[in-house]
C-alpha cells in the first residue's frame, strides 16, 4: 500500500511540474516569434555568413575595442550567393543586425591597409554609416510579429 502511495505521489508531482513547464513555454511563445533573415549580394559561396543580433543601443554603438556584447551571435551557410537563417522563439523587442561574409572563416571582418572591409558586410534596414557602422537608431527594427522576415543586401568594396 505504501508503495502505491509513493508511485501515486511521484506521478502527481510529475504531472504538476509538466503542466507548469507547458504553461511557461506557452507564455514565452506568446511574447516571441520567428525571425527569418535573407541575405543577398555575396561574391561567392566560400566561407560563411557571420551574424550578430543586438538588443541594446549602447552595446551596438560601442567600438570593437570596447568588447561589445550582442544579444546573439550565429553563422549561416551560403548557397547560390544567398543565405537564409531562421531564428526561433526570439523575444519581441527592438533589434539591429550586423553581419559579414566571413570568406576565410577566421571570425573577423578582414580589412585592407586603409581599414576598408575586404569582405562583404551589411546591417538591418540596409543602413550605412559615414565612416563605420551606422548608429543603432538607423539599423534597428521592431520585432513584434510571430513570423517576420528581414532582407539585407551585402555591401562589397
Taking 60 as the threshold, does the pLDDT of residue 8 lie above it?
A: no
User: What is the CATH code of the structural domain delimited by 33-153?
Assistant: 2.60.40
> What is the residue extent of each domain of the chain?
1-30, 33-153
pLDDT of residue 49: 99
pLDDT of residue 22: 43
More confident residue, 128 or 3: 128
Q: pLDDT-derived band of residue 7, with 50, 70 and 90 as boundaries?
A: very low
Q: Percent helix, strand and coil across the chain, each rounded to 5? A: 25, 35, 35
Taking 80 as the threshold, does the pLDDT of residue 121 lie above it?
A: yes
Average pLDDT, the chain: 87
Amino acid at each position: 500500500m505504501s508503495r502505491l502511495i509513493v508511485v501515486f505521489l511521484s506521478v502527481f508531482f510529475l504531472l504538476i511540474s509538466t503542466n507548469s513547464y507547458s504553461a511557461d513555454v506557452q507564455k514565452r511563445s506568446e511574447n516571441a516569434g520567428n525571425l527569418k533573415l535573407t541575405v543577398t549580394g555575396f561574391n561567392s559561396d566560400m566561407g560563411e555568413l557571420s551574424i550578430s543580433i543586438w538588443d541594446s543601443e549602447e552595446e551596438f554603438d560601442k567600438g570593437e575595442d570596447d568588447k561589445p556584447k550582442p544579444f546573439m551571435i550565429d553563422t549561416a551557410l551560403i548557397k547560390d550567393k544567398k543565405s537564409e537563417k531562421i531564428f526561433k522563439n526570439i523575444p519581441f523587442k527592438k533589434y539591429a543586425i550586423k553581419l559579414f561574409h566571413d570568406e576565410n572563416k577566421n571570425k573577423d571582418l578582414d580589412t585592407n591597409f586603409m581599414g576598408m572591409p575586404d569582405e562583404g558586410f551589411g546591417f538591418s534596414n540596409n543602413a550605412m554609416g559615414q565612416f563605420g557602422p551606422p548608429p543603432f537608431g538607423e539599423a534597428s527594427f521592431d520585432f513584434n510579429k510571430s513570423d517576420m522576415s528581414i532582407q539585407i543586401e551585402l555591401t562589397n568594396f
